[in-house]
Amino acid sequence: MKSKYKVVFLITSLLIVLSISISFLNYTISFSSVQKQLKSQVLPLSLDNIYSDIQKYIIKPHLLSSTMANNSFLKDWLKEEQDISKIKKYLLTTKKEYALFNTFLVSAKTKNYYSQEGLLEVLKEENPLNEWYFDFIKSDKKHEINLDLNKFMSNNLIMFINYKIFDENSKLLGVIGVALKTSYINDILKTFRTHNHFIVSFYNKNGEIVLSERNINYDYISYEKDNMESFKEKLLSKESSIIEYEKDGDTYLLNSRYIPELDLYLTVEANLKDFTYKVTNVLYFNIFVSLLITSVIAFLVYLIIKNYSKKLEFLSHNDALTKISNRRDFEFKLNTHFNLMKRKRNDICLIFIDIDNFKEINDKLGHHVGDRILVQFSKILKSEIRKTDLLARWGGEEFLISLIDSSVSDTKFLAEKLRVLIESDTKLNKIAKTHVTASFGVTKLEEDDTIDEAISRADKAMYLSKNHGKNQVSIL
């Protein structure tokens, strides 16, 4: 019984180890494939697609500012700075045509700040809100991008794309620019994150994030500032590159690209977990299915082994043909009864039975008929003994009965009854196509007997019946 469970446990363990190993192997291969594809294809391609979208919403206004800065009408108007209605119309037309949030112009000579509404204010160095202009004109940059608040436009954060205007002698005439609501840009960046699982940001040449999705990236930006030095040089390279780093136990991939039109670095960041969760889910599913299948197989193996064990156990104690006890089982049980007899002083008698002329029946009708006779013969014997008595096929056509608490006279009476039943059994005679008879030998177990001696004595009694004409009962 213990061996049976050991086999089931061993098979189950091997199946579990095999299935889980295969699942993890497939997971490792798939995970590596996804990571490789993300690095070599998905991120670079996504960066190109994002760059194309950015061109529509950021680079296009940037190029527009550059074009406006070289417009001869603006240069001529700034030299005279008369008829404000013309500049109002120009700025308004540009705003509407390109769907901008605002357009503006600052005169270097008068410091007047114009929009499509006309003159809004005169810029002053002592005004903190005007610092952007004075810082810009003092710098050697020809253009810049600013994120700022402007009380005349709205209280929202605005992205200003500013260009300097020079005359033919490279003298500064003013600053022209366009304004975009970062909330609109924020929606674009949010779309990239929610639809594609990418975080898009813009860095300046100092490694500072100048534009990213609002409210989402604060922790991310803080982390970048703290860890920028480790990959700053690679990030700010003008050649596209892939940076891999760890954060909070997750692996992140960062693809960067320099945008010369903006003089900024566009980065697309992806959390590897967002792209491998399907692979992970497949792993969990495979493990679940593997365990389920393993459980079913283990249960089936258990049933097969249990059934097979029952058959083996049955065959170890019973005769395969007649299904009654075999010789070994009979001897074991008889030995137990014999020991009880010595202690309780009760009687045990044996009946040794042999079918008469069985060899001739076998030779004449065949072994298959002989087997049917043995089966029917054993049924007759079994039908007349008690449950406490023992019945066994001793070998060939020989049978042995042990009667518990039975005297010699009672045993002889049963033997005679069995002899008559066998001789008159119509089914048995029909199978054999003749009268089937048997010879019986009866003996009683004595205290000083051994099992072998008692069985041998019963066998001799049976041969007495054979020698005196068969189909009778003899006692020794």
Each residue's pLDDT tens digit, 115-174: 999 999 999 999 988 888 999 999 988 888 776 645 454 445 677 889 999 999 999 999
Is residue 462 one of the residues assigned to a domain? yes
| Cβ proximity of 176 and 163 under 8 Å | yes
Q: Determine the Cα–Cα distance for residues 19 and 224; give it in Å rounded to an integer.
A: 42
pLDDT computed for residue 198 by the predictor? 82
pLDDT computed for residue 4 by the predictor? 66
| Cβ proximity of 245 and 11 under 8 Å | no
Residues 6+ apart with CB under 8 A from 398: 352, 353, 354
Ordered alpha helix ranges (H), 81-217: 84-97, 131-138, 182-196
The whole-angstrom distance between residue 233's C-alpha and the CA centroid of its chain comes to 41
State both tokens at 257.
């690209």
> Nearest-5° angle of CA 270, CA 275, CA 279?
155
Is 218 exposed, middle or buried (CB count within 10 Å of its CB: 0-12, 13-18, 19+)? exposed
Is residue 24 one of the residues assigned to a domain? no
Structural domain harbouring 333: 327-475
DSSP state of 354: E
DSSP state of 470: S
DSSP state of 59: I
Is 390 exposed, middle or buried (CB count within 10 Å of its CB: 0-12, 13-18, 19+)? buried
Q: 196-207 burial, b for 16+ CB within 10 Å, e for fewer?
A: bebbbbbbbeeb
| Cβ proximity of 141 and 219 under 8 Å | no
DSSP state of 81: -
Residues 6+ apart with CB under 8 A from 250: 271, 272, 273
285-334 tens-digit pLDDT: 888 888 888 888 888 887 887 787 777 777 778 888 988 999 999 998 99
Number of neighbours of residue 148 by Cβ within 10 angstroms: 13
Is residue 425 one of the residues assigned to a domain? yes
Is residue 355 one of the residues assigned to a domain? yes
Is residue 348 one of the residues assigned to a domain? yes
| Cβ proximity of 157 and 149 under 8 Å | yes
φ/ψ (deg, to 5) at 324: -95, 175
pLDDT computed for residue 214 by the predictor? 64
* CA–CA distances in Å: residue 193 to residues 42, 213, 217, 274: 14, 9, 11, 11
Is residue 90 one of the residues assigned to a domain? no
Domain with residue 429: its CATH number is: 3.30.70.270
Q: Determine the Cα–Cα distance for residues 167 and 262; give it in Å rounded to an integer.
A: 23
* CA–CA distances in Å: residue 66 to residues 59, 173, 249, 265, 407: 10, 14, 45, 19, 128
| Cβ proximity of 284 and 270 under 8 Å | no
Is residue 418 one of the residues assigned to a domain? yes
State both tokens at 386.
């008690």
Is residue 388 one of the residues assigned to a domain? yes
Query: Smallest Cα–Cα separation from 49: which of 238, 206, 255?
Result: 255
Q: Determine the Cα–Cα distance for residues 204 and 223; give it in Å rounded to an integer.
A: 17
Q: Which residues of the chain have pLDDT under 50?
A: 149, 151, 153-155, 217-223, 225
φ/ψ (deg, to 5) at 294: -60, -40
Strand intervals (E) in 116-227: 118-122, 143-150, 154-166, 172-181, 198-203, 209-212
pLDDT computed for residue 296 by the predictor? 85
Residues 6+ apart with CB under 8 A from 111: 122, 123, 124, 133
Number of neighbours of residue 418 by Cβ within 10 angstroms: 23
Q: How many domains does the chain contain in total?
A: 1
